[in-house]
Amino acid sequence: MAYNREIDLGTPAVAGDAAPVELTIDGQAVRVPAGTSVMRAAAMLGTTIPRLCATDTLDAFGSCRLCLVEIDGRAGTPASCTTPVAAGMVVKTQTGRLQTLRRGVMELYISDHPLDCLTCPANGDCELQDMAGAVGLRDVRYGDAGANHLNLAKDESNPYFTFDTSKCIACSRCVRACDEVQGTFALTIEGRGFGSRVAASQGEAFFDSECVSCGACVAACPTATLIEKKVIEVGTPDRSVVTTCAYCGVGCTFRAEMRGEALVRMVPHKAGKANHGHSCVKGRFAWGYANHRERILSPMIRASITEPWREVSWDVAIAYTASEFRRIQQAHGKDAVGGITSSRCTNEETFLVQKLVRAAFGNNNVDTCARVCHSPTGYGLKTTFGTSAGTQDFDSVEHSDVVIIIGANPTDGHPVFASRLKQRLRGKPGVAGARLIVIDPRRTDIVRSPHIEADHHLALRPGTNVAVLTAMAHVIVTEALADEAFIRERCDWSEYVDWAAFIAEARHSPEATEALTGVPAAEVRGAARLYAGGGNGAIYYGLGVTEHSQGSTTVMAIANLAMVTGNIGREGVGVNPLRGQNNVQGACDMGSFPHELSGYRHVSDDGARAIFSTLWGIEIDAEPGLRIPNMLDAAVDGSFRGLYIQGEDILQSDPDTRHVSAGLAAMECVVVQDLFLNETANYAHVFLPGSTFLEKNGTFTNAERRIQRVRKVMTPRNGMEDWEITQALSNAIGYPMHYAHPSEIMDEIAAVTPTFAGVSYDLLDRIGSVQWPCNEQAPEGTPVMHLDGFVRGRGKFVRTEYVATEERTGPRFPLLLTTGRILSQYNVGAQTRRTENSRWHAEDVLEIHPHDAEQRGIVAGDWVRIASRAGETSLRADVTDRVAPGVVYTTFHHPTTQANVVTTENSDWATNCPEYKVTAVQVGRSNGPSEWQLEYEARTQLARRIETAEPAE
């Protein structure tokens, strides 16, 4: 695909189904929806009216005075961006008068603009340059003696873009993008008249300001004022490829803009149905890890983890791995090996790893990192609704009136969706914003941010989700706020009656549970009434729901709330898990769980197994295999000895590090396929270098069930795409695979998975993306689920009795630790730590309430020791009232923090999802890193040695 700037129609499309209006522009008739601007109507005819302050991602502003037109019967020369069409209107976009006016305006702009076009980084990609040409500017009569802004200093503080105010034309596009699109309100125009300049926060450097580096201002800038440093370094791109971001579960569509095989920039694509042209600091800028010096490009093996790594050829590495797995299976039985698929990899790669396990290994010992994040979502939503997935698309939030956010921090974890949500919460002129309820132990940014304030923030004690949600249901049932008509029509009425009687018991009331949850009863009542009676109610939740001993119960409590209020089965409502990683949904869909084949069919289902057996020519075991924690237990016991791990770092990301390391250390062959020598690789015998999302073809499925293409834009530096590595391994083990392209793997997925039956690369290329189910009934996919009834038939109410976790505070461990994410870093940080994003967050810190800090003599910046019954670690403290007294909080992005040394082996009753979010701890001052951290550092250094060839004499 050659390089073209995206088409810009100047002003946004009008929302909804406005009646068409017919008008004439330059003699041509055009029909457009009422409310459309004259500028947009002209653009739809292919006529570009000169403009500088207008762009179709922002509301019309009418400041640049360039887009003037003449309209028959109207006086003057109105701005076409702010003038809506009218029936019968006759517009002229080019007359002598308009030409003179526009030239005059351009002349003024250019009189205060450096004329260094040839050496300007935006040369060839500059709207100011284009407009000077379009209006026929030939001369600037004002000279250069007057006052100007030509010598103002650049702000280069942001690692990814430069702000050169001398090139600014004060069009306000950046300010408006920050306000309207991103919702951070970090930019302003300070001063007035000739002195008007764009400023970040209160005239601070960009890096020090409130700017979150989403890149919206850079994308909006028509000149080189805000421009990517990479463009300054490399030059403008010459081609672009549409692909999907590999960070969070929002799944933003980007244009990878290239010059040769060099990536110049990632620009959010307006046609992306998840992001509509917006991005965050990770997807937009944090892709430099692909070329980081620590990336491993050669396969490596070693007989024991005490030896240094030895670089070998792909053939040797694959043959060695295959022989090790065969040897282990011959000696210890076919169940002695297994595999782990990754939510970072594509659907096709994930499908292939589980196929390798089920067909080549001949067992069901396959699991995925969703085990430790959203497995309770799968269980809970399948039980209540019948499908293990969110019910809506992201666009649905446009129609929400009340939004509940539980255990999620979207502005940090899912920033592009958060911007969308914030747009709805702020409302628009004439349209009130949606109301907001936040249920979270911590005061996350969404609770109070510019022009947004939650109606209720239920700052519950960690571990009491079920009690709070059950209390909300109690209020809805006992105050007769239930939507009985919906329940009778859609749900099992007798189960509802049983549930309602249970819920109505006085012990579930907000007053009865207040002492337990720490949430004032009046707040719970207020929140329940608002959700039940405030119109369309939508629930968004994250790992603060699932990563608990009652994670699955909490998911079912959420489903109960949606059903009892009738908030399911249409736009604007629903139950929406915010998925942590780009392809959590896909990894689950692809049959990565040890008990399920693709499309969530249990391995004991004879019919489902038969489909695979026929196609694959093998018998699939009817018994479930081992889940990740079970694999580690079995390894310690000696019955599980070989593990193939694709794109996952279980040593850093899984709880109870000591147990994970004991399990890994007990195995005879651990194979890690990754970009870097991650923490798990310390215990590996084979390292297979992986490819980045820029180096392969495939698909990711985001939190909306949206399947989107990942397109290869450069040759894999490691030599192979990840699916090719799995295929080579399977062939070496003796189970042949012969895919020539990932599209063939998708064809197989479609053939064996009813909900994917209609999916193909042809379809995705044609319509951009598709939300499953996609089959004969829904050939272009399913944006909103359960429209006419639940997938399982009737919605199932499940009693949700609060059971306190066994993780209790006491005299030894009086505080509760909970964990989360920060905007600039991603998960275990393997990618983001290897980018400039680390400048925003160089280390994990412990948030502690001033009251708890004072009792312990801790001041901000102190090194503190945090200990639980599982272990201890040290990090620096941040004293803040974001957390309640009794609660401490940290992120887990840095391996040196070793946050999971502290977390325990407690897990969700139904799925074994670890209870990361509640750990009883004690905190005290310390002198620096703990002994474990120091030892760990030393061990890591040792484990990462790579043998260097003897120098020739």
Partner 1 sequence: MSASTLEREVRMANQIAAEFENQQPGQAVAATADHIVQFWDPRMKAQILAHALAGGAGLSPLAAAAVALLRGKQGGGGAAPGDG
Q: What is the binding site for partner 1 (CB under 8 A)?
A: 335, 364-365, 549-550, 553, 594-595, 602, 604, 623-627, 629-630, 633-634, 636-637, 639, 798-801, 803, 905, 907, 909-912
Q: How far is the CB of 626 from partner 1 (least distance, A)?
A: 5
Instruction: Identify whether the C-beta of residue 541 lies closer than 8 Å to the C-beta of residue 408.
Output: yes
Round to whole Å and give the CA distance between 415 and 547: 21
Q: Of 99 and 639, which has the nearer Cβ to partner 1?
A: 639
Q: How far is the CB of 612 from partner 1 (least distance, A)?
A: 18
Beta bridge partners of 770: 707
Q: How far is the CB of 798 from partner 1 (least distance, A)?
A: 6
**In the chain, what is the greatest distance between 2 CA atoms, to the nearest angstrom?**
92
Q: Of 28 and 604, which has the nearer Cβ to partner 1?
A: 604
Q: How far is the CB of 903 from partner 1 (least distance, A)?
A: 15
**CA separation, residue 258 to residues 4, 266, 315, 694 (Å):** 12, 9, 32, 11
Q: How many CB atoms are closer than 10 A to CB 152?
A: 13
Q: Residue 616 contacts by C-beta under 8 Å, 6 or more apart in sequence?
A: 355, 358, 359
Q: How far is the CB of 364 from partner 1 (least distance, A)?
A: 8
Q: Of 224 and 357, which has the nearer Cβ to partner 1?
A: 357
Place of tokens 């005299």: 811
Alpha helices in 65-157 (DSSP H): 96-111, 127-134
Q: How far is the CB of 429 from partner 1 (least distance, A)?
A: 48
Q: Of 902 and 910, which has the nearer Cβ to partner 1?
A: 910
What SS3 state is found at 332?
helix
Give the closest residue to 746 by CA, choosing from 589, 883, 593, 894: 589
842: DSSP letter: S
Q: Of 319 and 636, which has the nearer Cβ to partner 1?
A: 636
Instruction: Identify whether the C-beta of residue 604 lies closer than 8 Å to the C-beta of residue 622.
Output: yes
Q: How far is the CB of 812 from partner 1 (least distance, A)?
A: 21
Round to whole Å and give the CA distance between 804 and 467: 9
Q: How far is the CB of 641 from partner 1 (least distance, A)?
A: 13
CA dihedral of 877, 881, 885, 888, whole degrees rounded to 10: -40
Q: How far is the CB of 608 from partner 1 (least distance, A)?
A: 14
Place of tokens 């279980």: 650
Q: Of 79 and 798, which has the nearer Cβ to partner 1?
A: 798
Q: How far is the CB of 636 from partner 1 (least distance, A)?
A: 6
Percentages helix, strand, coil for the chain (3-state, rounded to 5) are 35, 20, 45
Q: Of 612 and 797, which has the nearer Cβ to partner 1?
A: 797
Q: How far is the CB of 480 from partner 1 (least distance, A)?
A: 25
Round to whole Å and give the CA distance between 884 and 869: 22
Q: Of 626 and 733, which has the nearer Cβ to partner 1?
A: 626
DSSP 574-586: EEEE--SSTTHHH
What count of residues does the chain have?
A: 953
Q: Of 378 and 758, which has the nearer Cβ to partner 1?
A: 378
Place of tokens 């919906």: 486
Place of tokens 């989700």: 465
Q: b/e string for 842-874 if b means 16 or more Cβ within 10 A?
A: eebbbbbbeebbeebebeeebbbbbbbebbbbb
What SS3 state is found at 14?
coil
Q: Of 103 and 595, which has the nearer Cβ to partner 1?
A: 595
Instruction: Identify whether the C-beta of residue 518 lies closer than 8 Å to the C-beta of residue 524.
Output: no
Q: Of 604 and 941, which has the nearer Cβ to partner 1?
A: 604
Q: Of 548 and 706, which has the nearer Cβ to partner 1?
A: 548
Roughly how many angstroms between the first and final C-alpha of the chain, as a whole number? 51
Round to whole Å and give the CA distance between 701 and 673: 21
Q: What is the Cβ-side half-sphere exposure of residue 121, based on CA atoms within 13 angstroms? A: 21
Q: Of 637 and 947, which has the nearer Cβ to partner 1?
A: 637
Q: How far is the CB of 467 from partner 1 (least distance, A)?
A: 13
Q: How far is the CB of 597 from partner 1 (least distance, A)?
A: 13
The separation between CA 494 and the C-alpha centre of its own chain, rounded to angstroms, equals: 39
Q: How far is the CB of 640 from partner 1 (least distance, A)?
A: 9
Q: Using only C-alpha atoms, what is the Rg of the chain?
A: 29
Q: Of 632 and 750, which has the nearer Cβ to partner 1?
A: 632
Round to whole Å and give the CA distance between 739 and 722: 13
Instruction: Identify whether the C-beta of residue 678 lies closer than 8 Å to the C-beta of residue 828.
Output: yes
Q: Of 327 and 799, which has the nearer Cβ to partner 1?
A: 799
Round to whole Å and give the CA distance between 862 and 923: 12
Q: How far is the CB of 624 from partner 1 (least distance, A)?
A: 6
Q: Of 633 and 836, which has the nearer Cβ to partner 1?
A: 633
Instruction: Identify whether the C-beta of residue 862 lies closer than 8 Å to the C-beta of residue 876.
Output: yes
Q: How far is the CB of 742 from partner 1 (least distance, A)?
A: 30
Residue type, 791: V
